[in-house]
Structure formats: C-alpha cells, structure tokens
Amino acid sequence: MVTDLPPGGARAVARCDALGVAPYSDIEGGLYRAYLTPAYEAAQAAIAGWMEDAGMTVRRDAAANLVGRFEGEVADAPALMIGSHLDSVRNGGRYDGPLGIMLGIECVAGLHDAGRRMPFPIEVYAFGDEEGSRFPAAMLTSRAVAGTLDAAALDIADDHGVALADAGVDVSAYLAAARDPGSIRAYLEAHIEQGPVLEADGLAVGTVTGIAAQLRYAVTVTGMAGHAGTTAMRLRRDPLAGAAAMVLAVEQIARADNSDVVATVGWIEALPGAANVIPGEVHFTIDVRSGVEARRNKVAEAILERLGEIARVRDLELAVERIHDLPASPCDPALMDLMDDALVGAGQPVRRLVSGAGHDAMNMAALCPTAMLFIRCKGGVSHNPAEHVAPEDADIALRVMLGFIDRLGECA
C-alpha cells in the first residue's frame, strides 16, 4: 500500500487516502474512524509500520495514542513532539488530522534517509480522539499526555452503552500517558486550514498564531404545546417561532461586530416533534469563537441579552447553560518566528492566521511551547468527504516543517 511512492508530501497524501477506506473506516462508502474501534486499531497498525520504516521505535501509550520515537544526538534531551489526531467525524474527510501525522513521519523519514540526527529526539504522536466522535468528550488523549485530564472524565460511555473502561484501555492507568514537562522541548502540529483564507490568498501554507477562544451554550426555550389546527395564532406561545428569531439574532449580532467573531447554531430540536403539534419546548446550541477572548465575550453577552428580550416579548421561558469555555491558546512567539523563517526558506511568503477550530495543540500548550502550520485545503472544505489537499501543497508543508526542525536544532 503506497509503498511505491518516494518519500514526500505526495506519499503523505496517498497514505491519508489509503486510510480513508475499509478496513480503516467503521462505515462503508465513507470515512468514520472513531477512537478504539476496529478501524482505529487497523489504522494504528498501518501507521506503526510506516513509523518503523522511517527509523522510529514505536509504542502505544496508556491512553492508546500511537507514538514513534526517532532518537537524537543527545538521547535524554527534551524531544520535539510532532502530532495530530487519527480519529475522524462521521462521514468526514481524509486529511483532517492524519495529514499532520503522515507529514511528521515524512520529516523523520527524510532525516533517517539522509543519515541525520537532530540534537534532540523527535516523537510523532497519533492522538486518538480529538474529534470526540465516539465518547461524549473530546481530546481525552492529548489532555492525558499534557497532564490536564481529570480522572473523573474517564467515567463515560458511548451511544451504545460501551464504557471507556470496556473499550480497550485500562482507565486506572490512563493518566500515566502524561509526559514530564521537562521531557518535551516543543510541540509542532501541521493541519489543514479547514477554512478558505489560504486559498483566497493564493497560498499553500501559513503560520498559525493561536487557537480561538470558544464558548458554547445549551439553550432551552419553553412555551405551550397545543393543537396545530385549533390554537389561534394570537394565543400561541410557540417556542420554535421564538427560537427561530433567536437563531437569526445570533447570526445578526455576530455579523454586526464586523470582526473575526463567528457564532453558530449547529443543533436544534423541537419537542414533541409532531407535524400537527405546536412544540412545547425547543433545544439548541450556540457556539461563539474569536481570536480575542474579550471580543468573544462581548458578542456572547450581546447574544444572550437579545435572546432574553425575544423570550420576554413572546412570553417564553428561557434557560441557558454554558457547557464549554476554552480560552484562546496562542502559539509560542519564538516558534512562530522560526516558522516564518522556514516559510521564507521554502520560498513561501510569510502569512499568519488564527485557527477558529480547536486542535490538540491547545492542550499541548499546557505542557510545552507550541507551533502550528496550516495547509491549504480546496474550497476551505473540511469534515466532509470533499475535503482535498493537493500533493504539491503537502510537499511545500513538508519542506517548511523540515526547515522549522533545522532552525529549532540551531537553537538547541
């Protein structure tokens, strides 16, 4: 499988493609690879072979992350960690996550083939569950490595009632995946942009400045259920009509800020959910993000205030629960400068941009300085089978990463 391709970006892309079908997917006709499933195990086995071919020793840690290690000139020097995630959303794309792993392997393969060792070891991590597409929690595995995971978070089960403890890991040892902060020099993650900025600017790659601050709310709007045919319009307390006004308000307020703030209603449910019944209760989510935490908070507060006004005018009850609050996670300034220099060294213009999506890097920032490289994806499409990365762009990304590693070595 893709063994006839020479090392480089094209092979990294081809390996992602190879992992996009059975037995590396849990569904037919698309890609869905969830944490600790047969597809996950099969993908780990394939990647382990590629890591070994690149000159790495391979292990699986207590959180079921796959780890390849390439020794450096100084064996006990703090390592450069290169990582991304192996899992996918349901019916997702082939490059979101795995491309960063494959490019990490290609970096090591290039050094190995050239007979080179850096002043530090390099470890390539294939994290298990960045997407959180199986269990009701995301990024368990990178949080475990960063040492920020609470043991209580492991008491979870998937939609089929399978507990994490019964899924193939020893939860009593799970937190042993944590790394000593002194053992890791820096973390590098290459990832598809999942947005249209690089493509719009005609660029293959860009330096990430940080990961946007995220807020998420669960909203419940309660009114009065009734018969769709016998309840006069003027007497209705319809929570779905009220929720519709609220959804539009979310969009309008975020747009009016005219900044990098984005706000999304990604899920909505009306109960009891019958065609001939006025709903009595509606549930929906709101996701608000910005590279600047204060700006995010300002827009979120304006949204919640407007939702309250809509509820009062329509005589509806409103309940809002904050379910997610992640601060902005800036990348390390010195590492960003090294990345910019590597861009120039690879013949690319310097471009910096913020990530609106979450990544394992946001957890690794608690362990060590972090750097990220974004790679252009066609149309900015991600979490979709249409996700596409040109092999030429992946090759540029690889050259930039190798340049970054060289520059980091000069700083050792």
**Domain shared by 397 and 282, yes or no:** no
pLDDT > 60? residue 19: yes
Closest CA to 32 of 384, 394, 389: 384
| 364 shares its domain with 282 | no
Q: DSSP letter at 74?
A: S
The answer, yes or no, to whether residue 35 has pLDDT greater than 80, is: yes
For residue 402, being part of any structural domain is answered with yes
On whether both 284 and 343 belong to a single domain, the answer is: no
In a domain, 144, yes or no: yes
Whether 2 has a pLDDT exceeding 70, the answer reads no
User: Does the pLDDT at position 56 exceed 70?
Assistant: yes
Do residue 140 and residue 35 come from a single domain? yes
pLDDT digits (tens, 9 = 90+) for 115-168: 999 999 999 999 999 999 999 888 999 999 999 999 999 999 999 999 999 999
Residue 4 domain-assigned (yes or no): no
Predicted confidence at residue 328, as pLDDT, reads 87
Q: Could you tell me which residues come within 8 angstroms of residue 41 by beta carbon, excluding any fewer than 6 positions away?
A: 168
Instruction: Judge if 76 and 199 occupy the same domain.
Output: yes
Do 299 and 172 share a domain, yes or no? Answer: no
Q: Is the domain of 161 the same as that of 206?
A: yes
Q: Residue 394 pLDDT > 80, yes or no?
A: yes
Last residue of a domain, one of 267, 294, 326: 326
Same domain, 93 and 154: yes
Q: Is 240 part of any domain?
A: yes
Bridge partners for 283 per DSSP: 220, 269
d(CA 106, CA 395): 10
Q: Which residues pair with 226 in a beta bridge?
A: 278
Is residue 16 domain-resident?
yes
Q: What is the rounded average pLDDT for all residues in the chain?
A: 96
**Final residue before a domain boundary, out of 277, 302, 326:** 326
Percent of the chain with pLDDT strictly greater than 70? 99
Does 312 score more than 80 pLDDT?
yes
Rounded distance, CA 64 to CA 176, Å?
11
* In the predicted structure, residue 208 carries a pLDDT above the cut 80: yes
Q: How confident is the model at residue 3 (pLDDT cuts 50, 70, 90)?
A: low
User: 3 in a domain, yes or no?
Assistant: no
Considering the domain architecture, whether residues 270 and 183 belong to the same structural domain is answered as no
Neighbouring C-alpha atoms within 13 Å toward the C-beta of 282: 26
User: Which of helix, strand or coil describes residue 388?
Assistant: coil
Q: For residue 5, what pLDDT band results from cuts at 50, 70 and 90? A: confident
How confident is the model at residue 412, as a pLDDT? 66
Judgement on whether residues 192 and 276 belong to the same structural domain of the protein: no
pLDDT tens figures, 272-292 = 999 999 999 999 999 999 988
Indicate if 104 and 167 belong to the same structural domain. yes
Residue 291 belongs to domain spanning: 213-326
Q: Is 1 a domain residue?
A: no
Last residue of a domain, one of 277, 297, 326: 326
Cα 124 to its chain centre, rounded Å, is 17
CB 241 within 8 A of CB 295: no
Question: Residue 305 and residue 319: Cα distance in Å, rounded?
Answer: 12
What is the number of domains present in the chain? 2
Q: pTM, whole model, 2 decimals? A: 0.86
| CATH for 185 | 3.40.630.10
pLDDT digits (tens, 9 = 90+) for 230-275: 999 999 999 999 999 999 999 999 999 999 999 999 999 999 999 9
Cα–Cα nearest to 142, from 82, 99, 208, 185: 82
Is 322 found in the same domain as 347?
no
| Assigned domain for 87 exists | yes
Cα dist. 173→34, 144, 182, 367, 386 in Å? Answer: 21, 11, 21, 19, 39
Average pLDDT over residues 315-323: 96
> Which percentage of the chain shows pLDDT scores above 90?
92
The predicted model gives 7-24 an average pLDDT of 96
pLDDT at position 239 is: 98
Q: Is pLDDT at 310 greater than 60 in this prediction? A: yes
Q: What is residue 119's DSSP assignment? A: S
Question: Confidence class of residue 187 from pLDDT cuts 50, 70 and 90?
Answer: very high
CATH code (residue 249) = 3.30.70.360
Separation between Cα atoms, residue 194 and residue 207, nearest integer Å: 14
